């Protein structure tokens, strides 16, 4: 349970950084408490999307992984972030990704920030 909470908070911090840096990713709210709760909820949605859908997409795109030497991962991560934005809209969360390029750059930043925070905090699993 501790690992799940830590990973969710790391994803929340990474999403917040991506929303801060990338112009096409918006995280709206009246105050920082509302934004904090929103980004944690978005991180939970992002975790569910990556847990349920990403393995299926990776399985069906296995030939593309081999053909592109794994570079298709950037595209899949962008699509997962875009899907998270769609699900967040359906859940009335104040998070939106405008277009493919914002999703691609956002996914890259989320990956880098998550990787750095996982290195800094360690992984107990």
Would you say residue 30 has pLDDT above 60?
yes
The secondary structure of 16-59 as a DSSP string is HHHHHH-TTEEE--SSHHHHHHHHHHHHHHHHHHHHHTHHHHHH
**Predicted structure pTM score:** 0.87
The 10s digit of each residue's pLDDT in 49-59 is: 989 998 899 88
Q: Give the model's pLDDT for residue 38.
A: 92
Element of type H or E holding 96? strand 95-97
Q: 40: which 2 tokens?
A: 């944690």
């Amino acid at each position: 349970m501790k690992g799940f909470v830590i990973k969710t908070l790391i994803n929340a911090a990474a999403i917040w950084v991506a929303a801060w840096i990338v112009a096409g990713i918006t995280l709206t709210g009246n105050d920082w408490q509302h934004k904090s709760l929103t980004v944690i909820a978005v991180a939970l949605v992002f975790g569910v999307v990556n847990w349920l859908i990403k393995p299926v997409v990776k399985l069906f795109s296995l030939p593309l992984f081999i053909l592109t030497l794994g570079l298709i991962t950037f595209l899949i991560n962008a699509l997962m972030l875009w899907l998270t934005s769609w699900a967040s809209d359906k859940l009335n969360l104040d998070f939106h990704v405008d277009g493919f390029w914002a999703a691609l750059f956002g996914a890259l930043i989320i990956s880098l920030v998550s990787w750095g925070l996982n290195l800094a905090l360690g992984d107990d699993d």
